[in-house]
Amino acid sequence: MDSSGEINASQIPSGNVTSLGANSLLSAGNAQSFARSNHVHSIVTAAPLALTPNQTLDAGTGNALARADHVHSISTDAPVTLEIGGTNIEGTSDSFARADHKHSVALVNAYVGGSTNITTTNPSFVTMPGQTYTVPANGIYWVNFTGSFAIARTTGRCTASIFVDGSEIESSRVTGASRSTSVTEFPMATQAIVSAVAGTVIDIRWSTNTGAITATNARRSFSVIRLS
């Protein structure tokens, strides 16, 4: 009390204010001091954590509070390309996928056509120009070839077959012959299912029955389609 009989703030013991944190318990307190009218309690806040897959529910043990406008970051990642015949896997990524994400499916298909004349007089198999494909990935492939051939003799024959890394698939061998002394066209077609690894070379080879006969291929279609 001062000389006028009034009590001023300097004569009233005051204590330090405490910080408010999570899980603070209600308490009447036992301090023998007072709080000033403009006292302030600090509220401890911390940065929110990023959300990751397979997190366990947890009340947490931190003594910090969250602001009303706090935000948890959710990491997202680009979707991967699906591969035909790929293995199922849960994955180990710590990111999420958006609700409208899409996976592209990789289809390995190849087509080689032609309409210009190519010729051979070789009685042994030789690779048909432009009819070669290198497998990009392990898998099962359907190989298909069709063509229109011509030989200018009734005794002439033309043979075509599918080769894989230089070895013939004998079941794919087809032979055609002309039935006229004039040049007439005849179709030939063959196909095969091939199990191949990346880097395998698939090609179409052809031959005639004698080097004196010219076989002409004017129109052709060579396709390779991955099945699995």
Amino acid letter, residue 77: D
Report whether 150 contacts 212 (CB < 8 A): no
pLDDT given at position 211: 62
Reported as half-sphere exposure (CB side, CA atoms, 13 A), residue 75 has a value of 9
Number of structural domains the chain divides into:
2
In a domain, 96, yes or no: no
- Looking at the fold, whether 62 and 117 belong to one and the same domain comes out as no
Residue 172 CA to residue 194 CA, distance in Å, equals 11
pLDDT given at position 183: 60
Q: Which 3 state secondary structure label does DSSP give 51?
A: strand
In a domain, 149, yes or no: yes
- Looking at the fold, whether 68 and 117 belong to one and the same domain comes out as no
**Neighbouring residues of 80: CB distance < 8 A, sequence distance ≥ 6:** 103
Query: pLDDT tens-digit profile of 86-127?
Result: 677 777 887 888 888 887 766 667 788 788 888 888 999 999
In a domain, 103, yes or no: no
Task: For residue 120, give the CATH number of its domain.
Answer: 2.60.120.40
- Looking at the fold, whether 127 and 204 belong to one and the same domain comes out as yes
- Looking at the fold, whether 59 and 135 belong to one and the same domain comes out as no
E strand intervals along 56-173: 82-83, 105-106, 109-114, 118-120, 126-134, 139-151, 157-164, 167-168
- Looking at the fold, whether 118 and 222 belong to one and the same domain comes out as yes
In a domain, 83, yes or no: no
Question: Which tokens in the block code for residue 7?
Answer: 């009590």
- Looking at the fold, whether 139 and 45 belong to one and the same domain comes out as no
Question: Which tokens in the block code for residue 34?
Answer: 């007072």
Query: pLDDT tens-digit profile of 171-187?
Result: 999 998 766 656 667 88
Report whether 125 contacts 206 (CB < 8 A): yes
- Looking at the fold, whether 217 and 136 belong to one and the same domain comes out as yes
The answer to whether residue 2 scores a pLDDT higher than 60 is no
Nearest residue to 201 (alpha-carbon basis) of 127, 147, 146: 127
- Looking at the fold, whether 68 and 124 belong to one and the same domain comes out as no
What domain range is 36 assigned to? Answer: 1-78
